[in-house]
Amino acid sequence: MYLCSRMKIRALRVVTPLLTFPKPFSFVGPGASLSMCREIAAQGLERVLFITDAALLKLGIVDPLADLLQGLGLVVEVFSEIQPDPGFDVVLQGAARIKGFKPDAVIAVGGGSSIDAAKAILLCHANNCHPAKLRGLWLYALPRKRTLPFFAIPTTAGTGSEVTIVAIVSDNAAHTKIPIIDPKLVPSMMALDPKLMASLPPVITAPTGMDALTHAIEAYISTLATDETDRYTRMAITSIVRNLPIAYANGQNLEARERMAVASCFAGLAFTRAGVGYVHALSHQLGGLYHVPHGLINAIVLPHVLEFSKSHCAHRLADLARIVGVGSSATSDLDRADAFIALIRQMNQNMQIPDTVQGLSRNDFDTIIGRAFREAHGTYGVPRYLGRKQARELLEKLMPTQLG
C-alpha cells in the first residue's frame, strides 16, 4: 500500500538535504520592529505598503512603524483588509493595491494570516496570475518571477511563516486551504519584537503556541528530518514546553514572548525542510470546512496522530520526552512516548483547549480523508501511513459530544 507515496518520499529524502533555502536577516528583541524599519529606510526604499489586519491596526501596532518610516521621508500606505485564513479574494485585492500604489517594498505585520496573505499577494502581483495557479511545490525548477522586496513582523508566535517557504491560502468556494510553496516567499528581513506580542490574549497565545509545537514535533518524527532540522526542533520543543505556559499565564512577560517567537522560527525552519504530517494534512481540511483556527485544530488533533504513529516513531518521541524531562521512570521507548503524549494532553487541558472539533460531521469524513491523503501522501514524511478505516476512527474521536 502507498508504494508510490513511499517512493516519492524516498526521492525527497535524497533531494531536500541538497537544497538551500534562504533565511531572513533577523532583528530580535524589544523594539526590533522599529530597528528593522530604520534599516529599510537606510536601504533607500521610498514607497512602502504595510499588509496587516484591521484588529492590529486598531490596536495601534502598525502606527509607530508607519510614523517612523514617514518621519524618515518614505511614502507609506496600509492595506488592512486581511481576515483570518485569507482567501483568494483578499489576495487579488492586495495585488490590485500594489498595482495602484506601486510600492518599492511590502512589510507584513501580523499573524500567519497577514504574512501568508502578503506572500501570496506578492507572488500573484509579480506573476500576474490568480492565487489558485500558485498551488503546490515549485521550488527552483519553474520560471516564476521574483517578488518585490518583502519584510515580515510576526505578532503571533506560532506559524513561523516569517521564515518558511510556505503560504496557506483558503479556497472558500471549495472549503479547503491550498499551500503555495516557493523559496521566493521567504522575506529578506524579519523582526521578532516581543512588545508587539504582549497584546495577544491567552485564547490566541495558546493555540498559536501549540501550532509551533506541532510544527516542531511533526518535523522531528518526519522521515525527512535531518541533523539540522533535529537541532532546530529540539530547541523549539524545549523552549515551547517551558515558555508557552508562562506566556499564556502572563502575556506581559516579554522574555517568555521573545523565547516563544524564536522557538516558533526554529520550528518553521525545521518544517520548511522536513515537512509536517497528518496533523497539518487533517487540520487544513478541518479548518477549511469549519473555520476553526489553525492552531486550535492542530492542538486537538496532535495527540491522536501521535497515538496512532507512536509504534513507528517511539524512539523519536522518547527523545522528546527526555529533553523536556518527562517519563524518567519509564522503562521502554513506548512508555516514554506515552509520557510525552500525556504532556501534550496536559498542556492542552491547562490552556483550556477543547478535545473535540465544533461542527465536525460524519458526512464530511470522506471528503476530509480524501483531501488530507492527497495533501500528505508523497509530500510529508509521515512515520506511519494511515488507512481510510484508521482515519475514520481518528476523526470519530474528534466528534463533538452529543447532548441529550
Ligand X SMILES: NC(=O)c1ccc[n+]([C@@H]2O[C@H](COP(=O)([O-])OP(=O)(O)OC[C@H]3O[C@@H](n4cnc5c(N)ncnc54)[C@H](O)[C@@H]3O)[C@@H](O)[C@H]2O)c1
Residues making contact with ligand X (CB under 6 A): 53, 55-56, 59, 84-85, 110-114, 116, 155-156, 158-161, 164, 166-168, 177, 196-197, 199-200, 204, 208, 211, 294-295
As measured in angstroms, the least distance from the Cβ of 167 to Fe ion is 12
Q: Which is nearer to Fe ion, 16 or 264 (CB)?
A: 264
Which option in ligand X, Fe ion, none does residue 196 bind, with CB closer than 5 to 8 A by kind? ligand X
Closest CB to ligand X among residues 163, 225: 163
* Closest CB 279 distance from Fe ion, rounded Å: 8
**What are the C-alpha distances in Å from 294 to residues 12, 71, 279, 310, 397?**
26, 37, 11, 23, 18
The DSSP call for residue 166 is E
Residue 160 binding result from ligand X, Fe ion, none, given CB thresholds of 5 to 8 Å by partner type: ligand X
Task: Tell me the closest approach of the beta carbon of residue 185 to ligand X, in angstroms.
Answer: 8
CA–CA gap between residue 396 and residue 377 (Å, rounded): 21
Give the one entry of Fe ion, ligand X, none that residue 200 binds, where binding means its C-beta sits below a cut-off of 5 to 8 angstroms depending on kind: ligand X
Q: How far apart are CA 170 and CA 250, in angstroms?
A: 32
If the CB atoms of residues 273 and 336 are measured against ligand X, the closer one turns out to be 273
Binds 156, which of Fe ion, ligand X, none (CB < 5 to 8 A, cut-off by type)?
ligand X
118/337 with CB nearer ligand X: 118
Tell me which of Fe ion, ligand X, none is bound by residue 204, counting a contact when its beta carbon lies within the kind-specific cut-off of 5 to 8 angstroms: ligand X
The amino acid that residue 369 corresponds to is I
Q: Are 178 and 18 in contact, with CB atoms under 8 Å apart?
A: no
Selection from ligand X, Fe ion, none that 166 binds (CB < 5 to 8 A by kind) is ligand X
Contacts of 130 (CB under 8 A, 6+ apart): 88, 92, 124
38, 76, 105, 133 from 124: Cα distances, Å? 28, 21, 15, 9
Measuring CA to CA, how many Å separate 371 from each of 175, 182, 226, 293, 364?
11, 21, 27, 18, 11
Closest distance of CB 115 from Fe ion, Å: 12
> Which residue number, 113 or 285, has a Cβ lying nearer to ligand X?
113
Nearer CB in complex with Fe ion: 103/275: 275
* Cα–Cα distance for residue pair 301/89, rounded to 1 Å: 29
User: Rule CB under 5 A: which residues touch Fe ion?
Assistant: 211
Look at residue 168 and give the partner it binds from Fe ion, ligand X, none, a contact being a CB closer than 5 to 8 Å depending on partner kind.
ligand X
Burial environment of residue 252 by CB neighbours within 10 A (0 to 12, 13 to 18, 19 or more): exposed
Adjacent-strand bridge partners of 166: 181
- Report the DSSP beta bridge partners of residue 27: 191
Comparing CB distances to ligand X, the nearer of 49 and 181 is 181
Q: What are phi and psi of 181, to 5 degrees?
A: -125, 115
